[in-house]
Amino acid sequence: MNLTGNTIFITGGGSGIGRGLAEALHKLGNQVIISGRRAERLQATIDANPGMRAVALDITDPADIKAVAARLIADHPGLNVLINNAGIMLPDGADGPVDDELLSATVETNLLGPVRMTSALIEHLKTRDGAVVANVTSVLGFVPMAIAAVYSATKAALHSYTLSQRYLLRDSKVSVIEIAPPWVRTELMNSSEEARAMPLEAFIAGAIEQLGTDANEILVGPAVSMRANPGPGEHAWVNEFNDMMAAG
């Protein structure tokens, strides 16, 4: 991916990894447009980064996605990079009845949102040089966290979708990248001060460095070994990981 001269749209860009990526890419000379549902977060981010722009978006609303995509294409015809970052993570309880509202919100946000957002922009992106679709998944798509089983499952599904998308777009102008963060210090699951999690600044620095290469999977720090886990013996590490999490 070219790291400068792009017009980049980032969903969920008002906090956490989304904001970190937005600010880093903004500093590199890209036109960055962020989106989210919390207007105050968006405003704080663009106030701190003059020249960055924001648009309100409910990633769970198909009509809103179509409307925002149309506005982006009209207002920013040079748009050539989409980073599907918006996501929610809530503890569920796969060992009993799962709250249906939680289930629907997680699937709508983490899986259907990126699919719908890409669908709304893909024909435009196919016309742009250096076009990129980057899907932010998680190492929990490879080594699931049992207490957030639905979240982990949506990230595994988005990983699978990304593989198919990359194959189908292999002869187009669009490169498809997967960013699979490890545990990072963000607001997800109250991890902002979690000592076991990777500092956000360190993750962003590593991710940006890899984005500047031809890599189609961005794996920083602990993500490398967790990405390698799936296979016939994967249950041992899944059990070990979840035992560690349960022990605090």
Which of the residues are catalytic? 151
User: Which letter does DSSP use for residue 97 in this model?
Assistant: P
The token duo for 63 is: 């009509």
Class of residue 151 by CB neighbours under 10 A (exposed 0-12, middle 13-18, buried 19+): buried
Q: Which residues pair with 217 in a beta bridge?
A: 178
Q: List Cβ neighbours of 91 (8 Å cut-off, separation of 6 or more).
A: 147, 148, 189
Residue 161's identity, in one-letter code, is: Y
Rounded Cα–Cα distance for residues 25 and 15 (Å): 15
The token duo for 172 is: 């187009």
Q: In whole angstroms, how far apart are CA 119 and each of 23, 70, 86, 114, 165? A: 25, 12, 16, 8, 11
Q: In whole angstroms, how far apart are CA 40 and each of 26, 45, 57, 246? A: 19, 9, 13, 34
Number of residues written out for the chain: 248
Q: Left, alpha or beta for 51 (phi > 0: left; psi -120 to 50: alpha)?
A: left
User: Which letter does DSSP use for residue 28 in this model?
Assistant: T
